[in-house]
Chains A and B, each alone.
Chain A
Amino acid sequence: MKPPTKTSVILLVLMGVFLALAAGFSLNLWGRPASRPDIPLVDPAFISTDTVRTSYAELAAQKGDLSDFDCYGCHEKGKPPILRFDANQNLIIPKEHSDIVMKHGSHNRNNLCFNCHNETNLEVLQTRDGRELKFSESTQLCGSCHGPTYRDWGAGAHGRTSGYWNRDMGEITRKDCVSCHNPHSPKFPGRKPAPPPHPLRPLDKPKLEAKE
Protein backbone atom coordinates (compact mmCIF):
# COMPACT_ATOMS: atom_id res chain seq x y z
CA MET A 1 0.00 0.00 0.00
CA LYS A 2 1.30 3.39 -0.99
CA PRO A 3 1.58 5.69 2.04
CA PRO A 4 -0.64 8.75 1.69
CA THR A 5 1.17 11.65 0.16
CA LYS A 6 1.78 14.86 2.11
CA THR A 7 -0.66 16.78 -0.09
CA SER A 8 -3.56 14.47 0.53
CA VAL A 9 -2.97 14.53 4.31
CA ILE A 10 -2.99 18.33 4.33
CA LEU A 11 -6.11 18.33 2.17
CA LEU A 12 -7.80 15.92 4.54
CA VAL A 13 -6.91 17.99 7.58
CA LEU A 14 -8.05 21.21 5.91
CA MET A 15 -11.29 19.56 4.93
CA GLY A 16 -11.90 18.52 8.48
CA VAL A 17 -11.20 22.04 9.72
CA PHE A 18 -13.51 23.61 7.16
CA LEU A 19 -16.30 21.19 7.95
CA ALA A 20 -15.98 21.93 11.66
CA LEU A 21 -16.02 25.67 10.99
CA ALA A 22 -19.01 25.30 8.72
CA ALA A 23 -20.89 23.40 11.39
CA GLY A 24 -19.91 26.02 13.95
CA PHE A 25 -21.07 28.91 11.79
CA SER A 26 -24.36 27.35 10.84
CA LEU A 27 -25.12 26.55 14.48
CA ASN A 28 -24.27 30.20 15.22
CA LEU A 29 -21.93 29.27 18.04
CA TRP A 30 -20.09 32.59 18.06
CA GLY A 31 -22.79 34.84 16.72
CA ARG A 32 -24.68 35.21 19.97
CA PRO A 33 -24.13 38.59 21.58
CA ALA A 34 -22.98 38.55 25.17
CA SER A 35 -26.02 38.68 27.40
CA ARG A 36 -26.67 42.00 29.07
CA PRO A 37 -28.13 42.49 32.51
CA ASP A 38 -31.80 43.40 32.65
CA ILE A 39 -32.38 47.07 33.21
CA PRO A 40 -35.70 47.71 34.97
CA LEU A 41 -37.97 50.13 33.13
CA VAL A 42 -38.28 53.47 34.82
CA ASP A 43 -41.28 54.08 37.05
CA PRO A 44 -43.88 55.99 34.97
CA ALA A 45 -44.21 58.44 37.88
CA PHE A 46 -40.90 59.92 36.75
CA ILE A 47 -42.39 60.65 33.34
CA SER A 48 -45.57 62.20 34.71
CA THR A 49 -46.00 65.87 33.91
CA ASP A 50 -48.08 66.53 37.02
CA THR A 51 -47.01 69.35 39.28
CA VAL A 52 -46.02 68.55 42.85
CA ARG A 53 -49.26 69.98 44.26
CA THR A 54 -52.78 70.74 43.15
CA SER A 55 -53.92 74.33 43.50
CA TYR A 56 -57.39 75.39 44.65
CA ALA A 57 -58.26 76.53 41.14
CA GLU A 58 -57.26 73.15 39.69
CA LEU A 59 -59.18 71.28 42.37
CA ALA A 60 -62.26 73.36 41.69
CA ALA A 61 -61.91 72.77 37.95
CA GLN A 62 -61.53 69.02 38.47
CA LYS A 63 -64.47 69.03 40.89
CA GLY A 64 -62.10 67.60 43.49
CA ASP A 65 -62.42 67.47 47.24
CA LEU A 66 -62.67 71.08 48.43
CA SER A 67 -63.49 70.26 52.06
CA ASP A 68 -60.11 71.69 53.16
CA PHE A 69 -61.31 75.07 52.00
CA ASP A 70 -64.65 74.93 53.79
CA CYS A 71 -63.48 77.05 56.73
CA TYR A 72 -66.87 77.58 58.30
CA GLY A 73 -67.49 73.86 58.56
CA CYS A 74 -65.55 74.17 61.81
CA HIS A 75 -64.87 77.86 62.47
CA GLU A 76 -67.61 80.10 63.69
CA LYS A 77 -68.60 82.99 61.42
CA GLY A 78 -67.82 86.52 62.66
CA LYS A 79 -65.48 85.23 65.33
CA PRO A 80 -61.81 85.67 64.37
CA PRO A 81 -59.70 82.68 65.49
CA ILE A 82 -57.22 83.38 68.24
CA LEU A 83 -53.53 82.71 67.57
CA ARG A 84 -51.32 81.32 70.32
CA PHE A 85 -47.55 81.61 70.53
CA ASP A 86 -44.95 79.81 72.58
CA ALA A 87 -42.15 81.51 74.57
CA ASN A 88 -39.98 81.92 71.43
CA GLN A 89 -42.79 83.65 69.58
CA ASN A 90 -43.35 80.55 67.44
CA LEU A 91 -46.91 80.05 66.35
CA ILE A 92 -48.57 77.09 68.03
CA ILE A 93 -50.43 75.24 65.29
CA PRO A 94 -53.72 73.83 66.57
CA LYS A 95 -54.10 70.07 66.16
CA GLU A 96 -56.93 70.54 63.66
CA HIS A 97 -54.34 72.07 61.33
CA SER A 98 -51.51 69.72 62.18
CA ASP A 99 -50.83 69.13 58.45
CA ILE A 100 -49.61 72.70 58.14
CA VAL A 101 -45.90 73.38 58.51
CA MET A 102 -45.25 77.08 59.03
CA LYS A 103 -42.03 77.74 57.19
CA HIS A 104 -42.78 80.74 55.06
CA GLY A 105 -39.76 82.99 55.34
CA SER A 106 -36.89 82.67 57.76
CA HIS A 107 -36.57 83.92 61.34
CA ASN A 108 -40.30 83.63 62.08
CA ARG A 109 -40.96 86.87 60.32
CA ASN A 110 -43.99 85.49 58.58
CA ASN A 111 -45.62 83.17 61.07
CA LEU A 112 -48.86 85.06 61.41
CA CYS A 113 -51.85 83.43 59.66
CA PHE A 114 -53.49 86.80 59.04
CA ASN A 115 -50.63 88.10 56.95
CA CYS A 116 -52.40 86.31 54.13
CA HIS A 117 -55.74 85.03 55.43
CA ASN A 118 -58.55 87.44 56.18
CA GLU A 119 -59.31 87.37 59.88
CA THR A 120 -62.95 88.26 59.57
CA ASN A 121 -63.72 86.17 56.50
CA LEU A 122 -61.58 83.03 56.40
CA GLU A 123 -62.79 82.11 52.93
CA VAL A 124 -60.85 84.92 51.30
CA LEU A 125 -57.23 86.00 51.25
CA GLN A 126 -56.01 89.47 51.95
CA THR A 127 -52.97 91.38 50.75
CA ARG A 128 -51.08 93.79 52.99
CA ASP A 129 -52.64 96.75 51.21
CA GLY A 130 -56.10 95.44 52.07
CA ARG A 131 -57.25 93.89 48.82
CA GLU A 132 -59.43 90.83 49.29
CA LEU A 133 -58.69 87.93 46.94
CA LYS A 134 -60.38 84.59 46.35
CA PHE A 135 -58.37 81.39 46.88
CA SER A 136 -58.27 81.00 43.12
CA GLU A 137 -56.55 84.38 42.76
CA SER A 138 -53.70 83.56 45.10
CA THR A 139 -50.93 84.40 42.60
CA GLN A 140 -51.70 88.09 43.06
CA LEU A 141 -51.33 87.68 46.79
CA CYS A 142 -47.92 86.03 46.32
CA GLY A 143 -46.99 88.76 43.86
CA SER A 144 -47.80 91.48 46.35
CA CYS A 145 -44.63 90.54 48.24
CA HIS A 146 -42.54 88.63 45.68
CA GLY A 147 -42.42 91.33 43.02
CA PRO A 148 -39.44 90.23 40.89
CA THR A 149 -40.56 86.61 40.89
CA TYR A 150 -44.08 87.64 39.96
CA ARG A 151 -42.69 89.70 37.10
CA ASP A 152 -40.59 86.73 35.90
CA TRP A 153 -43.60 84.45 36.21
CA GLY A 154 -45.68 86.85 34.16
CA ALA A 155 -43.04 86.85 31.44
CA GLY A 156 -42.78 83.06 31.50
CA ALA A 157 -39.31 82.92 33.00
CA HIS A 158 -40.37 81.48 36.36
CA GLY A 159 -42.51 78.43 36.82
CA ARG A 160 -43.90 75.66 34.72
CA THR A 161 -44.86 76.12 31.10
CA SER A 162 -46.53 73.53 28.97
CA GLY A 163 -48.50 73.35 25.79
CA TYR A 164 -47.46 75.39 22.77
CA TRP A 165 -44.50 77.75 22.47
CA ASN A 166 -46.11 78.93 19.24
CA ARG A 167 -49.19 80.81 20.39
CA ASP A 168 -50.64 80.72 16.87
CA MET A 169 -50.80 76.94 16.95
CA GLY A 170 -52.16 76.37 20.43
CA GLU A 171 -52.53 77.44 24.00
CA ILE A 172 -49.75 77.81 26.51
CA THR A 173 -50.53 76.53 30.00
CA ARG A 174 -49.10 78.36 32.99
CA LYS A 175 -49.35 77.14 36.54
CA ASP A 176 -50.22 79.12 39.65
CA CYS A 177 -47.62 79.61 42.40
CA VAL A 178 -49.47 77.17 44.66
CA SER A 179 -49.38 74.42 42.02
CA CYS A 180 -45.75 73.93 42.94
CA HIS A 181 -45.18 75.83 46.20
CA ASN A 182 -46.95 75.07 49.44
CA PRO A 183 -47.99 78.54 50.61
CA HIS A 184 -47.27 77.67 54.25
CA SER A 185 -43.86 76.25 53.46
CA PRO A 186 -42.95 77.48 50.00
CA LYS A 187 -39.46 76.08 49.63
CA PHE A 188 -39.59 73.54 46.82
CA PRO A 189 -39.58 70.08 48.43
CA GLY A 190 -36.78 67.59 47.81
CA ARG A 191 -37.63 64.34 46.09
CA LYS A 192 -36.20 60.99 45.13
CA PRO A 193 -34.20 61.29 41.92
CA ALA A 194 -34.94 59.03 38.97
CA PRO A 195 -32.41 56.19 38.54
CA PRO A 196 -28.97 57.13 37.24
CA PRO A 197 -27.65 55.77 33.94
CA HIS A 198 -27.13 52.01 34.15
CA PRO A 199 -23.43 51.11 33.79
CA LEU A 200 -24.28 47.65 32.32
CA ARG A 201 -21.39 46.06 34.21
CA PRO A 202 -20.30 46.57 37.81
CA LEU A 203 -18.22 49.68 38.25
CA ASP A 204 -14.65 48.63 38.91
CA LYS A 205 -13.88 51.72 40.90
CA PRO A 206 -15.71 53.36 43.78
CA LYS A 207 -18.07 56.14 42.82
CA LEU A 208 -16.33 59.44 42.36
CA GLU A 209 -17.51 61.84 44.97
CA ALA A 210 -17.35 65.54 44.38
CA LYS A 211 -14.47 66.91 46.34
CA GLU A 212 -14.69 70.01 48.39
Chain B
Amino acid sequence: MSQEPSDKRNIPALDADGLSRRSFLRTSAVFTTGLAAIAAGLAPLRNLKDFTSMEQFVQKYYKELTPEDMEKVLKRIENEVEQQYGIRPHVRDLKPMNGVEFVYCLNLTRCIGCRKCVHACVAENNQSRNPEIQYIRVLQMTNGSFDMEKAVHDYDPAEVPQKGHFYMPVQCQQCHNPPCVKVCPVHATWQETDGITVIDYDWCIGCRYCEAACPYWARRFNFTKPAIPKDRLNPNMAYLGNRPRKQGVMEKCHFCIQRTRAGRYPACVEVCPAGTRKFGNILDPNSEVSYILKNKRVFIQLKEELGTSPRFFYYFDV
Protein backbone atom coordinates (compact mmCIF):
# COMPACT_ATOMS: atom_id res chain seq x y z
CA MET B 1 0.00 0.00 0.00
CA SER B 2 2.39 2.73 1.13
CA GLN B 3 5.24 2.62 -1.30
CA GLU B 4 8.30 4.73 -1.05
CA PRO B 5 8.19 7.18 -3.95
CA SER B 6 11.10 6.53 -6.30
CA ASP B 7 11.87 10.08 -7.17
CA LYS B 8 12.83 12.69 -4.65
CA ARG B 9 11.54 15.44 -6.87
CA ASN B 10 8.01 14.13 -6.57
CA ILE B 11 7.71 14.98 -2.92
CA PRO B 12 4.57 17.02 -2.79
CA ALA B 13 4.53 20.42 -1.22
CA LEU B 14 3.22 20.69 2.28
CA ASP B 15 -0.33 21.87 2.44
CA ALA B 16 -1.62 24.51 4.75
CA ASP B 17 -1.83 22.18 7.80
CA GLY B 18 1.69 20.86 7.25
CA LEU B 19 0.46 17.42 6.09
CA SER B 20 2.21 15.87 3.13
CA ARG B 21 0.55 13.39 0.83
CA ARG B 22 3.10 10.76 1.72
CA SER B 23 2.71 11.03 5.48
CA PHE B 24 -1.06 11.04 5.10
CA LEU B 25 -0.94 7.87 3.07
CA ARG B 26 1.48 6.22 5.44
CA THR B 27 -0.45 7.13 8.57
CA SER B 28 -3.76 6.07 7.15
CA ALA B 29 -2.34 2.78 5.88
CA VAL B 30 -0.89 1.95 9.29
CA PHE B 31 -4.15 3.01 10.95
CA THR B 32 -6.28 0.87 8.63
CA THR B 33 -4.03 -2.12 9.10
CA GLY B 34 -4.17 -1.74 12.85
CA LEU B 35 -7.95 -1.51 12.75
CA ALA B 36 -8.16 -4.61 10.58
CA ALA B 37 -5.87 -6.46 12.92
CA ILE B 38 -7.99 -5.58 15.96
CA ALA B 39 -11.15 -6.64 14.15
CA ALA B 40 -9.54 -9.90 13.16
CA GLY B 41 -8.27 -10.47 16.68
CA LEU B 42 -11.79 -10.06 18.04
CA ALA B 43 -13.17 -12.41 15.40
CA PRO B 44 -13.58 -15.36 17.80
CA LEU B 45 -16.21 -13.33 19.63
CA ARG B 46 -18.51 -13.96 16.65
CA ASN B 47 -19.00 -17.44 18.03
CA LEU B 48 -20.36 -16.02 21.26
CA LYS B 49 -23.78 -15.48 19.75
CA ASP B 50 -24.47 -19.20 20.26
CA PHE B 51 -22.93 -19.07 23.69
CA THR B 52 -25.30 -16.77 25.47
CA SER B 53 -28.16 -14.42 24.80
CA MET B 54 -28.65 -10.97 26.23
CA GLU B 55 -31.69 -12.14 28.24
CA GLN B 56 -29.59 -14.82 29.82
CA PHE B 57 -26.69 -12.46 30.39
CA VAL B 58 -28.83 -10.09 32.43
CA GLN B 59 -30.82 -12.86 34.14
CA LYS B 60 -30.91 -12.68 37.93
CA TYR B 61 -29.76 -15.32 40.40
CA TYR B 62 -32.12 -18.33 40.60
CA LYS B 63 -33.17 -17.65 44.17
CA GLU B 64 -33.97 -14.01 43.39
CA LEU B 65 -36.21 -14.74 40.44
CA THR B 66 -39.87 -13.90 40.97
CA PRO B 67 -42.43 -16.34 39.55
CA GLU B 68 -43.01 -13.92 36.63
CA ASP B 69 -39.27 -13.73 35.96
CA MET B 70 -39.10 -17.50 36.05
CA GLU B 71 -41.92 -17.78 33.56
CA LYS B 72 -39.99 -15.57 31.15
CA VAL B 73 -36.81 -17.56 31.71
CA LEU B 74 -38.59 -20.85 31.00
CA LYS B 75 -40.07 -19.35 27.81
CA ARG B 76 -36.61 -18.24 26.75
CA ILE B 77 -35.17 -21.72 27.33
CA GLU B 78 -38.04 -23.32 25.42
CA ASN B 79 -37.40 -20.95 22.50
CA GLU B 80 -33.68 -21.59 22.54
CA VAL B 81 -34.10 -25.35 22.61
CA GLU B 82 -36.70 -25.23 19.84
CA GLN B 83 -34.42 -23.10 17.71
CA GLN B 84 -31.53 -25.46 18.25
CA TYR B 85 -33.19 -28.87 18.16
CA GLY B 86 -36.47 -28.27 16.35
CA ILE B 87 -38.50 -29.72 19.21
CA ARG B 88 -40.60 -27.61 21.55
CA PRO B 89 -39.72 -28.90 25.02
CA HIS B 90 -41.75 -28.61 28.20
CA VAL B 91 -39.48 -26.87 30.69
CA ARG B 92 -40.63 -26.61 34.28
CA ASP B 93 -39.20 -25.23 37.47
CA LEU B 94 -40.24 -27.88 39.97
CA LYS B 95 -39.88 -26.97 43.64
CA PRO B 96 -39.04 -29.39 46.46
CA MET B 97 -42.06 -30.93 48.17
CA ASN B 98 -42.75 -30.47 51.85
CA GLY B 99 -41.93 -33.46 54.04
CA VAL B 100 -39.80 -35.12 51.40
CA GLU B 101 -36.15 -36.01 51.62
CA PHE B 102 -34.83 -38.29 48.93
CA VAL B 103 -32.60 -41.24 49.68
CA TYR B 104 -31.14 -43.75 47.27
CA CYS B 105 -30.28 -47.35 48.12
CA LEU B 106 -28.31 -49.69 45.91
CA ASN B 107 -28.11 -53.44 46.43
CA LEU B 108 -24.55 -54.59 45.78
CA THR B 109 -25.59 -58.24 45.93
CA ARG B 110 -27.86 -57.80 42.93
CA CYS B 111 -25.96 -55.46 40.61
CA ILE B 112 -24.77 -57.33 37.54
CA GLY B 113 -22.80 -54.46 36.02
CA CYS B 114 -24.81 -54.23 32.77
CA ARG B 115 -24.54 -50.40 32.59
CA LYS B 116 -28.16 -49.99 31.52
CA CYS B 117 -28.52 -47.32 34.20
CA VAL B 118 -25.65 -45.34 32.65
CA HIS B 119 -27.32 -45.10 29.27
CA ALA B 120 -30.86 -44.64 30.56
CA CYS B 121 -29.48 -41.69 32.51
CA VAL B 122 -27.80 -40.24 29.43
CA ALA B 123 -31.04 -40.54 27.45
CA GLU B 124 -33.21 -39.07 30.20
CA ASN B 125 -30.93 -36.19 31.11
CA ASN B 126 -29.89 -34.98 27.66
CA GLN B 127 -26.23 -35.56 28.25
CA SER B 128 -23.66 -34.99 25.54
CA ARG B 129 -23.06 -38.04 23.32
CA ASN B 130 -19.78 -36.78 21.87
CA PRO B 131 -17.74 -36.31 23.91
CA GLU B 132 -19.68 -38.60 26.22
CA ILE B 133 -20.83 -37.26 29.54
CA GLN B 134 -22.13 -39.89 31.92
CA TYR B 135 -23.23 -39.36 35.49
CA ILE B 136 -22.94 -42.99 36.55
CA ARG B 137 -19.73 -44.96 36.56
CA VAL B 138 -19.95 -48.69 37.23
CA LEU B 139 -16.88 -50.07 38.99
CA GLN B 140 -15.94 -53.69 38.63
CA MET B 141 -14.37 -54.81 41.89
CA THR B 142 -12.76 -58.05 42.93
CA ASN B 143 -14.68 -60.12 45.45
CA GLY B 144 -13.39 -59.79 48.97
CA SER B 145 -11.78 -56.40 48.48
CA PHE B 146 -12.92 -52.84 48.54
CA ASP B 147 -9.97 -51.19 46.91
CA MET B 148 -11.34 -48.62 44.50
CA GLU B 149 -7.82 -47.95 43.22
CA LYS B 150 -7.97 -51.38 41.62
CA ALA B 151 -11.50 -51.05 40.36
CA VAL B 152 -12.03 -51.23 36.60
CA HIS B 153 -14.62 -49.00 34.95
CA ASP B 154 -13.96 -49.79 31.27
CA TYR B 155 -14.60 -53.54 31.48
CA ASP B 156 -16.25 -54.93 28.35
CA PRO B 157 -16.59 -58.71 28.48
CA ALA B 158 -19.08 -60.68 26.40
CA GLU B 159 -21.19 -61.29 29.47
CA VAL B 160 -21.59 -59.78 32.90
CA PRO B 161 -21.47 -60.51 35.81
CA GLN B 162 -17.94 -61.87 35.63
CA LYS B 163 -17.11 -64.59 38.09
CA GLY B 164 -15.20 -63.41 41.15
CA HIS B 165 -16.28 -59.78 40.78
CA PHE B 166 -18.95 -57.49 42.07
CA TYR B 167 -20.13 -54.22 40.60
CA MET B 168 -20.53 -50.89 42.28
CA PRO B 169 -22.19 -48.03 40.40
CA VAL B 170 -21.08 -44.62 41.65
CA GLN B 171 -22.86 -41.36 40.95
CA CYS B 172 -23.58 -38.15 42.83
CA GLN B 173 -24.11 -39.14 46.45
CA GLN B 174 -26.25 -36.08 47.27
CA CYS B 175 -24.30 -35.47 50.49
CA HIS B 176 -25.75 -33.85 53.60
CA ASN B 177 -22.49 -31.97 53.85
CA PRO B 178 -21.49 -31.43 50.22
CA PRO B 179 -17.91 -30.26 49.65
CA CYS B 180 -18.80 -29.11 46.12
CA VAL B 181 -21.28 -26.56 47.44
CA LYS B 182 -18.75 -25.14 49.87
CA VAL B 183 -16.15 -24.38 47.22
CA CYS B 184 -18.41 -22.77 44.62
CA PRO B 185 -17.28 -19.13 44.44
CA VAL B 186 -20.54 -17.89 42.89
CA HIS B 187 -23.15 -20.04 44.71
CA ALA B 188 -24.19 -21.62 41.43
CA THR B 189 -24.69 -24.94 43.23
CA TRP B 190 -26.58 -25.51 46.45
CA GLN B 191 -28.53 -28.10 48.39
CA GLU B 192 -32.30 -28.03 48.20
CA THR B 193 -34.59 -28.96 51.07
CA ASP B 194 -35.36 -32.37 49.58
CA GLY B 195 -31.68 -33.20 49.66
CA ILE B 196 -30.84 -32.75 45.99
CA THR B 197 -27.74 -30.69 45.28
CA VAL B 198 -28.56 -28.72 42.16
CA ILE B 199 -26.66 -26.53 39.71
CA ASP B 200 -27.93 -23.38 38.03
CA TYR B 201 -26.34 -23.78 34.61
CA ASP B 202 -27.00 -20.12 33.88
CA TRP B 203 -25.04 -19.02 36.93
CA CYS B 204 -22.10 -21.43 36.73
CA ILE B 205 -18.85 -19.84 35.60
CA GLY B 206 -17.14 -23.14 34.86
CA CYS B 207 -14.23 -22.80 37.29
CA ARG B 208 -14.44 -26.54 38.07
CA TYR B 209 -13.64 -26.08 41.78
CA CYS B 210 -16.59 -28.33 42.61
CA GLU B 211 -15.21 -31.04 40.35
CA ALA B 212 -11.96 -30.92 42.27
CA ALA B 213 -13.74 -30.91 45.63
CA CYS B 214 -16.02 -33.87 44.98
CA PRO B 215 -14.56 -37.06 46.46
CA TYR B 216 -16.83 -39.24 44.30
CA TRP B 217 -15.91 -37.88 40.85
CA ALA B 218 -19.57 -37.12 40.36
CA ARG B 219 -19.33 -33.79 38.55
CA ARG B 220 -18.79 -33.42 34.84
CA PHE B 221 -17.61 -30.45 32.84
CA ASN B 222 -18.79 -29.49 29.36
CA PHE B 223 -15.52 -28.89 27.58
CA THR B 224 -17.37 -28.50 24.29
CA LYS B 225 -20.88 -27.70 23.25
CA PRO B 226 -22.84 -30.86 24.12
CA ALA B 227 -23.78 -32.94 21.09
CA ILE B 228 -27.27 -34.42 21.41
CA PRO B 229 -28.95 -35.98 18.35
CA LYS B 230 -32.27 -34.25 17.70
CA ASP B 231 -34.24 -37.48 17.73
CA ARG B 232 -32.87 -38.41 21.14
CA LEU B 233 -33.72 -35.19 22.94
CA ASN B 234 -35.93 -35.69 25.97
CA PRO B 235 -38.49 -32.85 25.84
CA ASN B 236 -39.58 -33.23 29.48
CA MET B 237 -37.19 -30.77 31.09
CA ALA B 238 -36.58 -28.95 34.33
CA TYR B 239 -34.67 -25.74 34.90
CA LEU B 240 -32.37 -27.27 37.52
CA GLY B 241 -32.40 -30.63 35.78
CA ASN B 242 -31.99 -31.91 32.28
CA ARG B 243 -32.38 -28.85 30.07
CA PRO B 244 -29.53 -28.80 27.55
CA ARG B 245 -26.35 -27.37 28.99
CA LYS B 246 -23.97 -24.93 27.40
CA GLN B 247 -20.28 -25.24 26.82
CA GLY B 248 -18.27 -24.36 29.90
CA VAL B 249 -20.65 -25.34 32.70
CA MET B 250 -20.69 -28.18 35.21
CA GLU B 251 -23.36 -30.82 35.45
CA LYS B 252 -24.06 -33.88 37.55
CA CYS B 253 -26.72 -36.32 38.73
CA HIS B 254 -29.72 -34.51 40.21
CA PHE B 255 -31.82 -37.61 40.99
CA CYS B 256 -33.76 -36.89 37.77
CA ILE B 257 -35.33 -33.81 39.30
CA GLN B 258 -37.78 -33.52 36.39
CA ARG B 259 -39.17 -36.96 37.28
CA THR B 260 -38.73 -37.26 41.03
CA ARG B 261 -40.27 -33.89 41.89
CA ALA B 262 -43.25 -34.97 39.82
CA GLY B 263 -43.55 -38.10 41.98
CA ARG B 264 -41.89 -40.56 39.61
CA TYR B 265 -38.85 -42.78 40.01
CA PRO B 266 -35.52 -41.76 38.46
CA ALA B 267 -34.66 -43.25 35.07
CA CYS B 268 -31.90 -45.47 36.48
CA VAL B 269 -34.36 -47.08 38.91
CA GLU B 270 -36.86 -47.75 36.13
CA VAL B 271 -34.34 -49.37 33.82
CA CYS B 272 -32.38 -51.58 36.22
CA PRO B 273 -33.11 -55.15 35.09
CA ALA B 274 -31.96 -56.65 38.40
CA GLY B 275 -34.02 -54.44 40.73
CA THR B 276 -30.81 -53.22 42.32
CA ARG B 277 -31.74 -49.60 42.63
CA LYS B 278 -34.19 -48.26 45.20
CA PHE B 279 -35.36 -44.72 45.64
CA GLY B 280 -37.81 -42.95 47.87
CA ASN B 281 -38.70 -40.56 50.63
CA ILE B 282 -36.84 -41.32 53.84
CA LEU B 283 -39.30 -39.20 55.85
CA ASP B 284 -42.09 -41.61 54.88
CA PRO B 285 -41.83 -44.59 57.26
CA ASN B 286 -43.62 -46.83 54.74
CA SER B 287 -41.29 -46.16 51.81
CA GLU B 288 -39.02 -48.90 50.53
CA VAL B 289 -35.90 -46.92 51.43
CA SER B 290 -37.09 -46.65 55.05
CA TYR B 291 -37.60 -50.41 55.07
CA ILE B 292 -34.12 -51.01 53.66
CA LEU B 293 -32.37 -48.72 56.12
CA LYS B 294 -34.29 -50.31 58.99
CA ASN B 295 -34.05 -53.96 58.00
CA LYS B 296 -31.30 -54.63 55.49
CA ARG B 297 -27.57 -54.85 55.96
CA VAL B 298 -26.72 -51.31 54.92
CA PHE B 299 -22.99 -51.32 55.17
CA ILE B 300 -21.67 -48.07 53.81
CA GLN B 301 -22.02 -44.62 52.79
CA LEU B 302 -19.16 -44.40 50.35
CA LYS B 303 -16.03 -42.76 51.82
CA GLU B 304 -17.87 -42.34 55.09
CA GLU B 305 -14.71 -41.15 56.83
CA LEU B 306 -14.79 -37.88 54.88
CA GLY B 307 -17.85 -36.75 56.78
CA THR B 308 -19.83 -35.91 53.67
CA SER B 309 -22.72 -38.09 54.87
CA PRO B 310 -24.17 -39.20 51.54
CA ARG B 311 -27.86 -39.79 50.93
CA PHE B 312 -26.78 -42.73 48.80
CA PHE B 313 -26.56 -46.06 50.62
CA TYR B 314 -25.07 -49.35 49.48
CA TYR B 315 -26.56 -52.46 51.02
CA PHE B 316 -26.39 -56.22 50.83
CA ASP B 317 -29.00 -58.91 50.90
CA VAL B 318 -28.76 -61.57 53.62
| A and B held together in a complex | yes
CB contact list, A154-181 vs B, under 8 A = 155-166, 168-170, 175, 180
Q: Is the CB of B160 within 8 A of A42?
A: no
- Complex Cα gap A199–B130 (Å): 11
Q: Is the CB of A161 within 8 A of B288?
A: yes
Q: Return chain B residues, CB-CB under 8 Å to A200.
A: 131
- Complex Cα gap A169–B264 (Å): 8
CB contact list, B25-53 vs A, under 8 A = 26, 29-30, 33-34, 36-37, 39-41, 43-44, 47
Please tell me the number of chain A residues within 8 Å of chain B, measured between CB atoms. 67
- Complex Cα gap A4–B317 (Å): 90
Given A166-B281, A192-B158: A161 and B275 interface contact (C-beta under 8 Å): yes
- Complex Cα gap A207–B220 (Å): 23
Q: Smallest CB–CB gap between B308 and chain A, Å?
A: 24
Q: Return chain B residues, CB-CB under 8 Å to A202.
A: none
- Complex Cα gap A46–B113 (Å): 12
Contact of A15 with B by CB under 8 A: yes
Question: Chain A residue with minimal CB distance to B134?
Answer: A197
Annotate B152-189 by CB proximity to A: 1 below 8 A, 0 otherwise: 11111111110001000000000000000000000000
Interface size class of B (residues with CB under 8 A): 35 or more
Given A25-B43, A210-B142: A193 and B152 interface contact (C-beta under 8 Å): no
Annotate B126-152 by CB proximity to A: 1 below 8 A, 0 otherwise: 000111101001001110000000111
Q: Is the CB of A47 within 8 A of B165?
A: no
**Most A C-beta atoms less than 10 A away, residue of B116, B150, B156:** B116
Q: Is the CB of B4 within 8 A of A193?
A: no
Contact of A180 among B118, B142, B274 (CB under 8 A): B274
- Complex Cα gap A168–B98 (Å): 13
- Complex Cα gap A3–B287 (Å): 93
Q: Is the CB of B112 within 8 A of A195?
A: no
Q: State the majority secondary structure of interface residues on B.
A: mixed
Contact of B263 with A by CB under 8 A: yes
Given A41-B129, A157-B278: A162 and B269 interface contact (C-beta under 8 Å): yes
Contact of A197 among B40, B137, B160 (CB under 8 A): B137
Q: Is the CB of B44 within 8 A of A36?
A: no
The stretch that binds A, out of B85-93, B196-204, B289-297, is B289-297
Question: Chain A residue with minimal CB distance to B294?
Answer: A155
- Complex Cα gap A12–B25 (Å): 13
Contact of B119 with A by CB under 8 A: yes
Q: Smallest CB–CB gap between A201 and chain B, Å?
A: 10
Contact of A52 with B by CB under 8 A: yes
- Complex Cα gap A47–B156 (Å): 18
Given A18-B37, A156-B288, A212-B142: A166 and B263 interface contact (C-beta under 8 Å): yes
The stretch that binds B, out of A26-34, A65-73, A121-129, A137-145, is A26-34
Q: Return chain A residues, CB-CB under 8 Å to B30.
A: 11, 15
Q: Is the CB of A180 within 8 A of B275?
A: yes
Contact of B236 with A by CB under 8 A: no
Given A25-B40, A41-B229: A197 and B132 interface contact (C-beta under 8 Å): yes
- Complex Cα gap A47–B288 (Å): 24
Q: Is the CB of B150 within 8 A of A210?
A: yes
Contact of B120 with A by CB under 8 A: yes
Q: Return chain B residues, CB-CB under 8 Å to A195.
A: 115, 156
- Complex Cα gap A23–B157 (Å): 52
Q: Return chain B residues, CB-CB under 8 Å to A88.
A: none
Contact of A170 among B47, B115, B263 (CB under 8 A): B263
Question: Chain B residue with minimal CB distance to A188?
Answer: B274
Q: Is the CB of B160 within 8 A of A193?
A: yes
Q: Is the CB of B264 within 8 A of A163?
A: yes
Given A194-B114, A210-B151: A159 and B275 interface contact (C-beta under 8 Å): yes
Q: Is the CB of B119 within 8 A of A210?
A: no
Annotate B241-278 by CB proximity to A: 1 below 8 A, 0 otherwise: 00000000000000000001011110001111111001
Q: Return chain A residues, CB-CB under 8 Å to B114.
A: 46, 191-194
Q: Return chain B residues, CB-CB under 8 Å to A52.
A: 273
Q: Is the CB of A18 within 8 A of B36?
A: yes
Q: Smallest CB–CB gap between B284 and chain A, Å?
A: 9
Question: Chain B residue with minimal CB distance to A24?
Answer: B40
Q: Is the CB of B265 within 8 A of A36?
A: no
- What 6 A-B pairs come out closest when comparing CB atoms? A169-B263, A156-B288, A166-B263, A25-B40, A22-B40, A194-B115
**25 chain-A/chain-B pairs, Cβ below 8 angstroms:** A8-B4, A11-B30, A18-B34, A25-B44, A28-B43, A46-B120, A152-B296, A155-B288, A157-B107, A157-B295, A158-B275, A160-B272, A162-B265, A165-B281, A192-B159, A192-B160, A193-B113, A193-B155, A193-B157, A193-B160, A194-B114, A197-B132, A198-B131, A198-B132, A209-B152
Apart from the given pairs A1-B8, A155-B291, A196-B115, 4 other A-B contacts in the complex at a CB distance below 8 Å: A42-B122, A51-B273, A166-B97, A208-B152
